[in-house]
């Protein structure tokens, strides 16, 4: 590999449309990686304002439009490709890799419908399988128009596309695991009706290299998907240094911040249990829940039942700038996740000098040795940690100082260089 | 002639139990008695009893030519008294030979010297009484906790009646001289006996390390090294943890045999003699070189400073909060509260809170906590309860 490798990167979430950490991670990595590789990034929705030098971003919300003009999507691209690559025509079945829901895809001959599919504000939504299927079709089309050395795909939503592109082009496939279905729904992932687990498993089997975002995620993948160790190259997520600030709180009460989707994976019941234990002894604190999710109503009912609802603030989904304002006021960042592949928001909190109390079952615990961690079910220990942070200054000062040093060791550039190592190992 | 002082440090703290915040105001006992008793029993059986026997046999064999010293902390003496009186008995027998000296220190093996002269005095006097009661001797040589020393100590040590102090042979304090001589410090003309950490650590740390260039170390080889002295090197102080023998270095390493053979080997050299520290100090020349340390010095780590106990935010915060109780406690004057407070002052508690040495292998040996944060939180919770007790009293 003497010149810069050409990477076909398949992403999904991307700034400014961000739901979880996936978009931030993809952005951070692409930006740093562009120093070492030429990247063509395919995402469902691109934004004219969000540009990256040396990264050619192609949004499917602009599919069929070139320079403001609608163009015909050349259906003969496949056939021409076949001629060049000398692939026998019969094997060029338009669906060489069955993903099980091709019928759901919006037909390529309807570029307008495709653009519409990816122009909403919700990157997932109830028609997510249609989006994934369509993405697979469109991505293959776009891939055939591109020259690249390696495919780099982020998470299950891009995996059907990625696997298919590998099958057609023969290029090596690197899959990047930011999340696992088993993290999201536990044992339910292996149920017959769950399609996401199958997509993840097949991709791991077909991939040449697997990049999990933590050693913890690697262990989960090996344990739950039966993949052997050799293909794995863990690369930790990082964070771009940011301006942080502190804001005075309106009330004198301390603030413990829970920031993330209110869903099983994030351990909301353990947060309630911890809060209850703490409030028995130390009532001068509020638990601030910033996020929405399928367990939000259950969570509200739970705190009501425990008679601690007056100590909880449910702020709903916050914009980036409001998240920063809350971080600037938080006394403790609390992440009792049941299974967290990484946990980028903990890095964000750490960047705002907020001491972090986090689950041991998380990837981010690997890069924040000076955060306080405990097993996700150990609510007594969590409560003890939070009590200590709210009452004793020594631990707060020490943690914040040491975490600053830990953060300074993290960079997307290091992550990018690790990814380059992975590419090099493929001898492309 | 060089006086060889072989001095052993004997110390056990009262380790704290797991004390969660929910116990504050409810549970006023902070110690893990079960664990402390178990540790004491183990070390008594592996180290104190058998090693005392080896030393006693050697003393009797050499009829006065083999002399040693011990520094036993108050918390340790107490635990022996309560749980292993046979160990006290074994130290008494050593004392009764007349060839074993016991050093003075702060009863609670504490850092009181950094915070309160009054408390420091109280603890030194309490320790003297304990040594007198249990071992029937009066200490005349002083050794501060972990060899923590600075010139600031001199006035109060002198007032307490001590003419000789042990300190670390840190080169910048000795004006470039070797530690193998008696120094003098301050206007009071107090004697300073300086630990030769090279030779001491050869035994305490390197003895069982196969990658050490001098491994294996025999009594003969070691005695040879000791005998190679310059003209002006009249004393050589070996000071180490007693638990080295049988606990940190297990019997299988041969360290007990080494110790047993050492007196035989040393007495073979005409220019070496075992001495009690107080005698070595008396044997010092008229004009002694000066030992001076404006800053606090200790025997710990490479830097030999306060880094192990009084360095980061947690340690300093815990110590500050602890010593803030002093005034109230003296006013209340209850001995039980003073004793609880004393036990919380033992330097080990703060050693465990060190983030600087979190991953250091030596620091890990002694540390029952998984992280310095756990150590700090545990201590501060117990202290919170204790402060509550003070308020109520």
The verdict on A418 and A380 lying in the same domain is no
Judged against a pLDDT cut of 90, whether residue A375 lies above it is answered with yes
d(CA A407, CA A244): 13
**What is the distance, to the nearest Å, from the Cα of residue B142 to the centroid of all Cα atoms in its chain?**
11
Helix ranges (DSSP H) in A236-355 = 268-281, 296-305, 320-327, 344-351
Question: Residues A129, A167: one domain?
Answer: yes
Say if residue B76 is in the same domain as residue B184.
Answer: yes
Position B152 in a domain: yes
Interface mutation vs chain A, best among B373, B376, B382, most A CBs within 10 Å: B373
Same domain, B368 and B277: no
pLDDT mean over A352-358: 97
Is B315 in CB contact (< 8 Å) with chain A?
yes
Q: Does residue B377 belong to the interface with chain A, where contact is any CB pair within 8 Å?
A: yes
Interchain proximity A391–B384, CB inside 8 Å: yes
pLDDT, tens only, A10-33: 999 988 877 778 999 999 999 999
Residue A72 pLDDT > 60: no
Contact A234, A215 (CB under 8 A): yes
Query: Are A124 and A215 within one domain?
Result: yes
- Do B185 and B321 have their domain in common? no
- Strands A312-316, A285-290: pairing is parallel
Residue B305 lies in a domain: no
Looking up residue B13, the CATH number of its domain turns out to be: 3.20.110.20
Structural domain of B388? 313-392
Average model confidence (pLDDT) for chain B? 95
Q: A394 and B21 in contact by Cβ < 8 A?
A: no
Q: Which residues of A touch B (CB under 8 A)?
A: 277, 280-282, 370, 372, 380, 383-385, 387-388, 391-395, 397-399, 401-402
Please check whether residues B236 and B333 belong to one and the same domain.
Answer: no
Instruction: For residues A146 and A206, state if they share a domain.
Output: yes
Are A60 and A205 contained in the same domain? Answer: yes
Identify all chain B residues contacting A401, using CB atoms and an 8 Å cutoff: 313
| Domain membership flag for residue A243 | no
Distance from CA of A344 to the nearest CA of B (A): 23
Overall domain count for chain B: 2
* Average pLDDT score over chain A: 89
Return all residues near B304 (Cβ < 8 A) that are at least 6 apart.
B168, B170, B297, B298
Question: What whole-number distance in Å separates Cα of residue B49 and Cα of residue B91?
Answer: 9
Query: Which of B19, B24, B377, B382 should one mutate to test binding to chain A, selecting the residue with the greatest count of A CBs within 10 A?
Result: B377
Are A387 and B21 inside 8 Å of each other by CB? yes
* E strand intervals along A15-134: 38-43, 55-59, 65-66, 69-70
Residues 6 or more apart whose CB falls under 8 angstroms from that of B327 comprise: none
Going by their DSSP bridges, the two strands A150-154 and A173-177 should be labelled as: parallel
Report pLDDT for A97: 37
Is B21–A383 a contact, with Cβ atoms under 8 angstroms apart? yes
Contact B312 A398 (CB under 8 A): yes
Chain B residue closest in CA terms to A395: B314
Q: How far away is chain A from the Cα of B381, in angstroms, using its nearest Cα?
A: 8
B211 & B354 share domain: no
Q: Which residues of A touch B355 (CB under 8 A)?
A: 370, 398, 402
B362 min Cα distance to partner chain A (Å): 20
**Tokens read off for A41:** 């990034």
Tell me if chain A has a CB within 8 Å of the CB of B318: yes
Q: Specify whether A22 is located in the same domain as A49.
A: yes
Whether B354 contacts chain A with CB within 8 A: no
B380 contacts A394? CB cut-off 8 A = yes
Contact A394 B376 (CB under 8 A): yes
The answer to whether residue B297 sits within a structural domain is no
In contact, A146 and A56? CB cutoff 8 Å: no
Do A358 and A218 share a structural domain?
A: no
Q: How far is A183 from chain B (nearest CA, A)?
A: 27
Identify the domain boundary among B232, B259, B282: B282
Q: In the structure, what pLDDT confidence band is assigned to residue A145 with cuts at 50, 70 and 90?
A: confident
| CB-nearest partner of A388 from B316, B355, B380 | B380
B103 in any annotated domain: yes
In this structure, are B380 and B263 located in the same domain? no
The verdict on B30 and B128 lying in the same domain is yes
Taking residue A316's Cβ as centre, other Cβ atoms within 10 Å add up to 11
8 A C-beta contact, residue A82 and residue A75: no
Q: What was the pLDDT predicted at A85?
A: 46
Nearest Cβ partner of B314 from A277, A385, A398?
Answer: A398
Which of A299, A384, A375 has the alpha carbon at shortest distance from A337?
A375
The label of the residue with tokens 């308020």 reads: B391
Contacts of B312 in chain A (CB under 8 A): 398
In a mutational test of the B interface, the residue from A358, A372, A388, A404 whose CB has the highest number of chain B CBs within 10 Å is A388
CA pair distance A323, A123, nearest whole angstrom: 20
Q: Please check whether residue A244 lies inside any domain of the structure.
A: no
Query: Is B252 designated active site?
Result: no
Report the C-alpha gap between A346 and A74 in whole angstroms: 46
Tell me the per-residue pLDDT of B304-327, one tens digit each, with 9 for 90 and over: 999 999 999 999 999 999 999 999
In a domain, A247, yes or no: no
Show which of B229, B262, B282 is a domain's final residue. Answer: B282
Question: How far does A281 lie from chain B, in Å, by closest CA?
Answer: 7
- Between A172-186, A241-255, B165-179, B214-228, the lowest mean confidence (pLDDT) is in A241-255
The answer to whether the beta carbons of residues A374 and A359 sit under 8 Å apart is yes
Long-range CB contacts (< 8 A, 24+ apart) of A328-331?
A: A328/A244, A328/A245, A328/A246, A328/A247, A328/A352, A329/A246, A329/A247, A329/A248, A329/A249, A329/A255, A330/A255, A330/A256, A330/A257, A330/A288, A330/A354, A331/A254, A331/A255, A331/A256, A331/A285, A331/A355, A331/A389, A331/A390
Backbone angles phi, psi at A126, to 5 degrees: -65, -25
Per-residue pLDDT tens for B121-144?
999 999 999 999 999 999 999 999
> Which pLDDT value is given to residue A101?
55
* B317–chain A Cβ distance below 8 A for any pair: yes
Based on the domain organization, do A401 and A284 belong to the same domain? yes
The pLDDT value recorded for residue A88 is 41
Evaluate whether residue A45 is within a structural domain: yes
Contacts of A391 in chain B (CB under 8 A): 380, 384
Which of A282, A370, A395, A400 should be substituted to probe chain B, the one whose Cβ sees the most B Cβ atoms within 10 Å? Answer: A395
CB contact under 8 A, B313 and A380: no
- B324 interface with A at CB cutoff 8 Å: no
Residue A150 within any structural domain of the chain: yes
Give a yes or no: residue B293 inside a domain: no
Smallest CA–CA distance from B25 into chain A, residue:
A281
CATH number of the domain where residue A393 is located:
3.40.50.2000
Q: What is the pLDDT of residues A379-424, one digit of tens each?
A: 999 999 999 999 999 999 999 999 999 999 999 999 999 999 999 9
Using the beta-carbon criterion (under 8 Å), do B381 and A385 form an inter-chain contact? no
**Residue B276 sits in the same domain as residue B181:** yes
Single out the catalytic residue among B146, B168, B243, B247.
Answer: B146
DSSP-based three-state secondary structure for A29: helix
- Confidence band (pLDDT; 50, 70, 90) for A71? low
Give the C-alpha separation, A378 to A359, whole Å.
9
B186 is written with which tokens?
């301050």
Smallest Cβ distance to B22: which of A281, A394, A401? A281
Q: What is the pTM of this model?
A: 0.91
Closest Cα of chain A to B371: distance in Å? Answer: 9
Cβ contacts from A onto B, under 8 A: 60
Q: Give CA–CA dist A218/B4, Å, rounded.
A: 59
Burial B345-383 (b: 16+ CB within 10 A, else e): bbbbbbbbbbbbbbeeeebeeebebebbbbbbbbbbbbb
Residues A293 and A398 grouped into a single domain: yes
Confidence of residue A69 (pLDDT cuts 50, 70, 90): low
Residues A78-112 pLDDT 10s: 455 444 544 444 333 333 334 455 567 777 778 88
pLDDT at A95: 36
The tokens for A197 are: 């687990």
When divided into structural domains, chain A yields a total of: 2
B218 in contact with A, Cβ within 8 Å: no
- Domain for residue A360, yes or no? yes
- Whether residue A208 sits in one domain with residue A86: yes
Number of H helices, E strands in chain B: 16, 9
Chain B residues lying within 8 Å of A398, measured CB to CB: 312-314, 355, 372-373, 376
Domain assignment of residue A182, yes or no: yes
Question: Cβ of B24 and A281 within 8 Å?
Answer: yes
In a domain, B68, yes or no: yes
Residue A174, domain extent: 6-238+412-425
Residue A68, pLDDT score: 56
Whether B332 and B264 map to the same domain: the answer is: no
The B residues from 105 to 164 touching A (CB cutoff 8 Å) are none
Residues B276, B346 within the same domain = no
Quick one: pLDDT at residue A242?
Answer: 83
| B176 and B128 part of one domain | yes
Q: How confident is the model at residue B188 (pLDDT cuts 50, 70, 90)?
A: low
Interface contact flag, B376 A277, Cβ < 8 Å:
no
- Chain A contacts of B319, Cβ < 8 Å? none
Taking residues B179-201, what's their average pLDDT?
91
In A, which residues are within 8 Å of B380 by CB distance?
Answer: 388, 391-392, 394-395
pLDDT digits (tens, 9 = 90+) for B341-392: 999 999 999 999 999 999 888 887 768 899 999 999 999 999 999 999 999 9
Confirm if B144 and B106 have CB atoms less than 8 A apart. Answer: yes
Question: Mean pLDDT, to the nearest integer, of A56-77?
Answer: 70
B185 found inside a domain: yes
Chain B residue at shortest CA distance from A380: B20
Question: Do A74 and A200 lie in a common domain?
Answer: yes
Angstrom distance (rounded) from CA B242 to CA B9: 5
Short-list A81, A99, A79, CA closest to A161: A99
Is B203 within a domain?
yes
| Claim to verify: residue B323 and residue B229 sit in the same structural domain | no
């Amino acid at each position: 590999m003497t010149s810069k490798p050409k990477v076909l990167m398949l992403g999904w979430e991307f700034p400014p449309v961000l739901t979880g950490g996936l978009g931030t991670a993809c952005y951070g990595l692409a930006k740093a990686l562009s120093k070492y590789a030429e990247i063509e990034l395919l995402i469902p929705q691109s934004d004219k304002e969000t540009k990256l030098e040396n990264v050619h971003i192609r949004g499917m919300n602009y599919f069929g439009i070139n320079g403001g003009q609608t163009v015909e999507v050349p259906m003969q691209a496949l056939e021409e490709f076949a001629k060049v690559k000398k692939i026998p025509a019969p094997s060029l079945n338009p669906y060489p890799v069955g993903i099980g829901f091709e019928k759901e895809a919006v037909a390529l001959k309807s570029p307008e419908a495709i653009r519409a599919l990816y122009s909403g504000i919700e990157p997932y939504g109830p028609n997510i399988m249609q989006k994934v299927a369509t993405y697979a079709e469109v991505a293959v089309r776009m891939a055939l128009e591109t020259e690249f050395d390696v495919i780099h795909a982020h998470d299950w939503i891009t995996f059907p596309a990625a696997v298919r592109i590998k099958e057609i082009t023969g290029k090596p496939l690197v899959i990047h695991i930011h999340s696992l279905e088993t993290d999201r729904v536990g044992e339910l992932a292996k149920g017959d009706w769950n399609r996401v687990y199958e997509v993840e498993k097949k991709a791991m089997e077909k991939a040449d290299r697997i990049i999990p975002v933590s050693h913890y995620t690697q262990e989960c993948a090996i344990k739950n998907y039966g993949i052997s160790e050799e293909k794995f190259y863990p690369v930790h997520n990082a964070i771009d240094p940011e301006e942080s600030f502190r804001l005075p709180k309106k009330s004198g009460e301390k603030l413990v911040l829970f920031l993330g989707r209110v869903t099983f994976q994030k351990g909301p019941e353990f947060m309630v249990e911890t809060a209850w234990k703490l409030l028995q002894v130390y009532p001068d604190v509020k638990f601030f829940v910033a996020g929405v999710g399928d367990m939000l109503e259950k969570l509200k009912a739970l705190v009501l039942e425990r008679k601690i609802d007056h100590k909880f603030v449910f702020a709903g989904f916050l914009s980036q700038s409001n998240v920063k304002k809350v971080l600037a006021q938080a006394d403790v960042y609390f992440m009792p996740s049941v299974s967290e592949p990484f946990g980028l928001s903990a890095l964000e909190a750490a960047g705002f000098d907020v001491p972090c109390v986090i689950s041991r079952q998380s990837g981010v615990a690997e890069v924040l040795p000076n955060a306080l961690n405990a097993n996700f079910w150990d609510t007594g220990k969590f409560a003890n940690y939070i009590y200590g942070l709210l009452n004793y200054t020594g631990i707060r000062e020490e943690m914040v100082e040491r975490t600053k040093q830990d953060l300074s060791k993290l960079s997307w550039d290091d992550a990018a260089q690790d990814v380059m190592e992975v590419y090099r190992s493929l001898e492309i | 002639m060089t006086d060889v002082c072989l001095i052993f440090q004997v110390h056990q703290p009262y380790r704290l139990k797991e004390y969660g915040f929910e116990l504050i105001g409810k549970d006023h006992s902070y110690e893990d008695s079960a664990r402390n008793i178990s540790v004491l029993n183990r070390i008594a059986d592996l180290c104190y009893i058998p090693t005392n026997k080896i030393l006693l046999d050697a003393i009797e064999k050499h009829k006065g030519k083999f002399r040693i010293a011990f520094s036993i902390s108050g918390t340790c003496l107490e635990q022996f008294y309560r749980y292993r009186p046979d160990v006290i008995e074994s130290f008494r027998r050593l004392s009764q030979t007349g060839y074993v000296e016991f050093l003075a220190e702060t009863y609670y093996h504490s850092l009181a010297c950094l915070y309160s002269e009054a408390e420091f005095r109280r603890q030194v006097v309490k320790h003297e009484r304990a040594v007198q009661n249990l071992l029937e001797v009066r200490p005349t040589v002083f050794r501060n906790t972990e060899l923590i020393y600075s010139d600031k100590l001199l006035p109060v040590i002198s007032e307490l009646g001590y003419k000789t102090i042990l300190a670390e042979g840190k080169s910048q304090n000795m004006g470039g001289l070797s530690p193998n001589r008696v120094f003098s410090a301050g206007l009071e003309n107090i004697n300073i006996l300086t630990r030769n950490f090279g030779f001491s650590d050869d035994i305490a740390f390197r003895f069982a390390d196969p990658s050490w260039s001098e491994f294996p170390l025999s009594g003969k080889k070691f005695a040879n090294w000791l005998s190679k002295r310059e003209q002006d090197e009249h004393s050589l102080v070996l000071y180490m943890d007693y638990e080295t023998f049988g606990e940190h270095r297990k019997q299988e390493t041969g360290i007990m045999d080494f110790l047993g053979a050492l007196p035989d080997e040393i007495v073979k050299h005409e220019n070496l003699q075992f001495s009690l520290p107080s005698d070595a100090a008396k044997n010092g020349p008229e004009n002694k070189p000066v030992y001076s340390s404006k800053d606090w010095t200790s025997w710990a780590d490479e830097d030999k400073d306060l880094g192990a106990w009084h360095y980061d935010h947690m340690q300093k915060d815990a110590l500050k909060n602890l010593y803030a109780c002093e005034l109230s406690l003296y006013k209340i004057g209850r001995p039980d509260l003073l004793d609880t407070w004393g036990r919380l002052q033992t330097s080990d508690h703060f050693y465990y809170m060190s983030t600087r040495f979190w991953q250091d292998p030596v620091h890990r040996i002694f540390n029952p906590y998984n992280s310095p944060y756990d150590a700090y939180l545990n201590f501060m919770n117990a202290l919170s309860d204790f402060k509550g007790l003070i308020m109520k009293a």
